[in-house]
Structure formats: structure tokens, C-alpha cells
């Protein structure tokens, strides 16, 4: 698939997603959705459609993406429960602070997705990232340290290993 074909497919998917979330279709919604979708594709063109980032769509890649999705949903739910326990506790057992963890991924797109996945889990926020490290602020520093060799990290590593093939 060429870069232009991939960008066109991504554009159409984003526009369709925009319309589905809008719950109604009129000219204004479609025009705004089209412009926003175009800007998203233009600003991310080099990152998403970089030949070193793109991989063939295989059964294993789909399997790894589905696994990653479920691991992420599980981590978000688990973190919600942990944060609720902390907030509802009389003692408020928090230990907030910044923790630097090793960035286990090579591909820029996977690194960005991993950093965003960390931020999606309640109680954590990715503050800075480079090729070797990710700085995360956590409500409990030990929870951030637990990201090392976690199922979430392993799911991203498996996805990246699939993309190397």
C-alpha cells in the first residue's frame, strides 16, 4: 500500500469516526470533520506513514493489536480501582512524584502510543519522553515502577517485535 493510499484510508476512517460521534449528519458537521481529519492526517503523515514504522497487516499483527487493546482496557480498569481505593481511604496512602522508566521500544509510533497508554491509566501522567527514557508522574511512585516488565509493556514489545518481521 502506498503512503497516499494509507493516508486516504486514514482520512476516511477519521471522518467516519467523527460523524459517528456527532450523532447527526449535516453539511457543517461534515465540513468541520473533514477539515479536522485532514489536519490530523497532514500533521501525522511522516510519523504514521514512515516506511520504517509501517508493517504488513498479518494475522499475528492483528492478534497482537487485539491483545494490546485488552491489556490496556484491563490496566485502565485496574488503575481506576486502585485510585478509587486511595481516594476513599482515610489515610490517603499516596507517594506522588516523578519516576524515570526505561523506554523499551525502538519505533517512534510505538513509543508515542506507549507513553499515551501510560497517561490513559488513572494516577499516571507521562511528562517527558526521549528514545531511552520516559518520565512519568504518578500518584504512587511504586505503581509507576511496576510498569517495568508489566503486561502493558510486554504487549507493546510483542507488537514491535511483530513489526520488525
Tallying the residues shown for the chain, one arrives at 165
Look up cell 501525522; give the residue: 44
How confident is the model at residue 43, as a pLDDT? 86
* Separation between Cα atoms, residue 123 and residue 121, nearest integer Å: 6
Cα of 8 vs its chain's centroid, Å: 22
Helix runs in 3-107, H state only = 3-22, 27-48, 59-88
Radius of gyration in angstroms for the set of CA atoms belonging to the chain, rounded to a whole number: 19
How confident is the model at residue 52, as a pLDDT? 60
How confident is the model at residue 90, as a pLDDT? 86
Mean pLDDT per segment of 10 residues, for the chain of length 165 residues?
Answer: 76 89 88 93 76 67 89 91 89 89 87 90 91 92 88 90 59
How confident is the model at residue 48, as a pLDDT? 67
Instruction: Give the end-to-end CA distance of the chain in Å, rounded to a whole number.
Output: 17
Amino acid at each position: 500500500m502506498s503512503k497516499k493510499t494509507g493516508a486516504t484510508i486514514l482520512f476516511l476512517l477519521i471522518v467516519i469516526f467523527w460523524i459517528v460521534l456527532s450523532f447527526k449528519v449535516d453539511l457543517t458537521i461534515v465540513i468541520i470533520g473533514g477539515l479536522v481529519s485532514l489536519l490530523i492526517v497532514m500533521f501525522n503523515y511522516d510519523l504514521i506513514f514512515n516506511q520504517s514504522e509501517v508493517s504488513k497487516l498479518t494475522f499475528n499483527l492483528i492478534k497482537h493489536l487485539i491483545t494490546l487493546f485488552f491489556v490496556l482496557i484491563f490496566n485502565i480498569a485496574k488503575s481506576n480501582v486502585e485510585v478509587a481505593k486511595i481516594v476513599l481511604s482515610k489515610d490517603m496512602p499516596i507517594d506522588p512524584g516523578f519516576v524515570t522508566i526505561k523506554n523499551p521500544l525502538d519505533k517512534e509510533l510505538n513509543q508515542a502510543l506507549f507513553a499515551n497508554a501510560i497517561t490513559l491509566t488513572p494516577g499516571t501522567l507521562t511528562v517527558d519522553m526521549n528514545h531511552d527514557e520516559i518520565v512519568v508522574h504518578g500518584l504512587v511512585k511504586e505503581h509507576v515502577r511496576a510498569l517495568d516488565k508489566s503486561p502493558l509493556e510486554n504487549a507493546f514489545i510483542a507488537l514491535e517485535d511483530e513489526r520488525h518481521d
